[in-house]
Amino acid sequence: MLPPVLDIYVIWHPDDVDGDEIARQVIEHFHGTPYVGLIGGSVEVYTRSASWMHGSDAPRPIPATEPQPHGLPSPLLTAVVPLVGVELRRAVEDPSSGWGEYLTAIVAAASQSDNVGIFPALMEEWDRNDHLGEVLAGIQALPPYITNDNAVLCRDISQQATHMIGAPLSKPLTVFISHTKWPSQGEEADWVDDFIARVRFRISNTHLQEFFDESDLQTGSAFADELDRNAASNSLLALRTDLYAGRDWCQREFRKAKEAGMPIVTLSAIRRAEERGSFLMDHVPVVGYQDGDEDVRDRSIDTALNLLVDRALRCSLWTLQQDELLSLGIDWAPPEAPEPATLIPWLIQNGSTAGDGQFTIMHPDPPLGPQEEELIRMLFTLVGANATVEIVTPRTYADRGGRRL
């Protein structure tokens, strides 16, 4: 078995009645679609609420503060999300409850290791002028409006976990806004500008950073190199308006991000029609921009941003396990399913290693279709590789009898 990568612990006092529902939603999110394609154990969510030991109201310790039983490996990363409610604050004030010591041990573990992060989430307003404020030692907390919105809470947890991992993505987590400002004949002259401005405003209301060429490229800089570098090191949000797919710079940004294995989400805002698509821009998640009232538009953008952050964490988790996969006999483990835009550069550099025998590619679920797999195998044939190419995901690999995942 590969060692666990990220464990998320949601902690709350059992008398803070909303804690159970918030924890359930967090579990559902990180067991949901963005993460089911990963290797088992890449990300897991645990809860801590009910008392564990006689004479103490505190719950079971987490591995960051005590070794795992029976020699089980501890996760590489631990994210702790205390849900701060009235009853938790009261329990910390009571030295006989054990909650104060419990949280103090977690804070101490985080102070001693960059692999442990604490992300308190407020269930109500809190002025921090109590013992819990002392225990958490000035750690920034998520405000109640975030805790009360499951999608935003899970986005912030994902963002902070991605920040803990770091490479291959830049820190802090930044959204590269890929766009064209030119409208088509079917778009009002200022519609594209308004759309881009709305996306930037929604990003400004999150904890995400943005890279936007008009404001982030410095005078006198080598702008092409800067664009390439940022597209290859940040999450890319493609604002696909009518003329986007045919613009050379948009294609270049998309290609750089794909070749670097960066997460990409397209926010599709095509109003009339595209004169042409682009094979470079396919094979990524697409969110439709709903051009309705203010709330409808904003929800579309938020959906794309939430998905992009989940894809960023997924990419980071997969990257952490690539060396382990190679040691188990996987020959190539890209963070996304192989396609011509990513496979051709890889083959140019590594195609000679395929040789004869069997060559195994593993990528996160979902699997490719039979026609897609056939085209990938044809590309191996074109470079003279005589190997039998097997393209698997963690799930299909296990179904075929693969071991140790």
Q: Give me the percent of the chain exceeding a pLDDT of 70.
A: 96
Tens of pLDDT, residue by residue over 18-48, are 999 999 999 999 999 889 889 888 999 999 9
In a domain, 239, yes or no: yes
Pair (95, 217) in one structural domain: no
Q: Which helix (H) or strand (E) holds 79?
A: strand 77-84
178 in the same domain as 303: yes
Distance between CA atoms of 183 and 180, rounded to whole angstroms? 8
Residue whose pair of structure tokens reads 């990363």 in the numeric block: 77
Average pLDDT over residues 156-172: 92
Angle at 390 between CA 388 and CA 393, to 5 degrees: 175
Q: Is residue 1 part of a domain?
A: no
CB atoms within 10 A of CB 150: 16
Residues 123 and 237 in one domain: no
- Mean of pLDDT values over 62-88: 88
List phi, psi (to 5°) of 392: -130, 160
The runs of H, that is alpha helices, within 1-44 are 18-30, 33-36
Task: Give kind and range of the element (H or E) at residue 286.
Answer: strand 286-288
Closest of 173, 204, 175, 177 to residue 193, by C-alpha: 177
99 and 205 housed in the same domain: no
Q: Looking at residue 158, which CATH number applies to its domain?
A: 3.40.50
Beta strands in 111-247 (DSSP E): 116-118, 121-122, 174-178, 209-211, 235-240
pLDDT-derived band of residue 57, with 50, 70 and 90 as boundaries?
Answer: very high
Alpha carbon of 219 to those of 174, 198, 204, 250, 331: distances in Å? 21, 25, 23, 21, 44
Do 65 and 148 lie in one domain? The reply is yes
Domain around 340: 328-399
With a cut of 90, say whether residue 161 has pLDDT above it. yes
Report the candidate in 366, 375, 370, 369 with the shortest Cα–Cα distance to residue 394. 366
Q: How far apart are CA 318 and CA 312, in angstroms?
A: 10
pLDDT band at 405 (very low <50, low <70, confident <90, very high): low
**pLDDT tens digits for 368-393?**
999 999 999 999 988 887 889 999 99
Do both 311 and 337 map to the same domain? no
Lowest pLDDT segment from 33-37, 104-108, 267-271, 310-314: 33-37
Q: Which of 6-15, 119-128, 307-316, 353-362 has the lowest mean pLDDT?
A: 353-362
Both tokens of residue 173?
Answer: 């987590």
Count of the separate structural domains present in the chain: 3
